[in-house]
Structure 1
Amino acid sequence: MPYTSHVNEKIDGIDEKILRLLGLLYRTEKTTEAHINPLLQPIGLTCAQHQVLQHLIMAGEPLPLGLIAEKLHSVRSNVTQMVDRLAAEGLVERVFDPADRRRVLAQITQEGHRRFEAASQLERQVVQELGTYFSQEERDQLIILLSRLEKAWA
C-alpha cells in the first residue's frame, strides 16, 4: 500500500506535488498557445510562426534552418515545414548561404516584418494581461525557476 500523509503525499515513492508540477509544465505551453493563437489568427500567424519571425528579426540576417530549430527547441523537419508555410505566404524566403551553397537559410521579407509587427502589438496586450496575474516579485521568481529548469534540461 502506498504511503500517504497530509504532510508529504507519495504514491509509489513519487512526490505528488512533483507529479502535479510536471503536469502543469506539460500543459503550460499548450494553454499559452491556446490563449494566444486565436489572437494571432486574424494576422495569419501562429505562436510558433511568430517565434520564427522573431528569431530572424533578432538575428538581423538570414539563419540556417538547423539554427532556427535549435532556438525553438524543435526538430529540423518541423522547422523546414514551418519555413515552407511561411515562404508560401511570402513572409520568409529561402536563400542559399553564400559561404556554402548546399546550406539553405531563411530570410524574413517585408511582409514578414509587417505581420510580425502586427503580432507584436497583440503580444503587448498579452504581456499586460499576464502582468495582472502575477506581482513583480512572483514574475521574477517564476522567471528564475523556469530558467533553472530550462538550463537543467537543455
Structure 2
Amino acid sequence: MPKKKLPPAEMPVADHAFYGLVWAGTVLTDRVDRALSKAHDLPVSWFEVLLWLASSPDPVPASVLGNSTMLSRSQVSRVIDALQSRGLVTRTPSTRDARSVEVALTPEGHRLFEAADATRRECLAPVFTDLLDEDDLRALSTVWQKLKANKDA
C-alpha cells in the first residue's frame, strides 16, 4: 500500500514554496557532493570556495570568502587549510590589511576547478538545467538574491 501524502493544495503556498526550496537545495547539493567526491575527491564545501576564487580575477581576502559562501568563517578557514595542503590555493598576507590574508587559486587549483565544474554541470543537467528554461533560471536567481539580500532582517 503506497504511503499517503498531502497534496500541495492542502498546504499554504508559502509553506509549499519554502519546503520546495529546502528540498531542492538538499537534493541537488547531495547529488553534487556525491559526484564531486567520487570524481575528484572534492567535497561540495571545497568546491564552493573554489567557485568563488575562480570567479575573481584577484586574490580574495579570507574574510570575503567567509561572507560570500554558505560556510562559517571557521569552516572557510578549515577548507582553505585543506585546499592549501593539496596545492590548490595559496595564502598571502594582504597588501591592504596587515591582519588579513588573501587566497588565490594555483594553476593546479584552476585545473581542478575546471574539471570539477564540468562534473557539477554534467550531474545537474538532467535534474536541473535541462528541465528549466532561461526564464525559470532567471526567476530562481531573482528569488535567491532577494532572500539573501534580506537574510539579516
User: Scaled by the length of structure 2, what TM-score is found?
Assistant: 0.77
More strand by share: 1
Instruction: Provide Cα deviations, 1:92-138, integer angstroms capped at 9, x if missing partner.
Output: 12211133333122121111111001112113324532233234443
Instruction: Report SS of the residue matched to 1:146.
Output: helix
8 A contact 2:31–2:123 mirrored in 1: no
Unpaired segments ≥5 residues, structure 2: 1-8
From the CA coordinates, give the structure whose radius of gyration is larger: 1
User: 1:100–1:132: structure 2 CA closer, same or farther, 3 Å change rule?
Assistant: closer
> 1:81, CA displacement in angstroms?
0.9
What is the correspondence of 1:5-154 to structure 2 with a 5 Å cutoff?
16-41=12-37, 42-129=39-126, 130-153=128-151
User: 1:64–1:135: structure 2 CA closer, same or farther, 3 Å change rule?
Assistant: closer
8 A contact 2:87–2:109 mirrored in 1: yes
How many residue pairs are counted as aligned between the two chains?
143
Instruction: Report SS of the residue matched to 1:45.
Output: coil
Q: RMSD of aligned C-alpha atoms?
A: 2.5
Unpaired segments ≥5 residues, structure 1: 1-7, 10-14
Q: Hey, what's the Cα distance between the residues in 1 that align with 2:145 and 2:59?
A: 27
- Relative contact order (alpha carbons < 8 A, sep ≥ 6): 1 or 2 greater? 2
Q: Hey, what's the Cα distance between the residues in 2 that align with 1:84 and 1:126?
A: 27
User: Scaled by the length of structure 1, what TM-score is found?
Assistant: 0.77
Q: Hey, what's the Cα distance between the residues in 2 that align with 1:136 and 1:62?
A: 31
Instruction: Provide Cα deviations, 1:73-95, integer angstroms capped at 9, x if missing partner.
Output: 43211111111111111111221
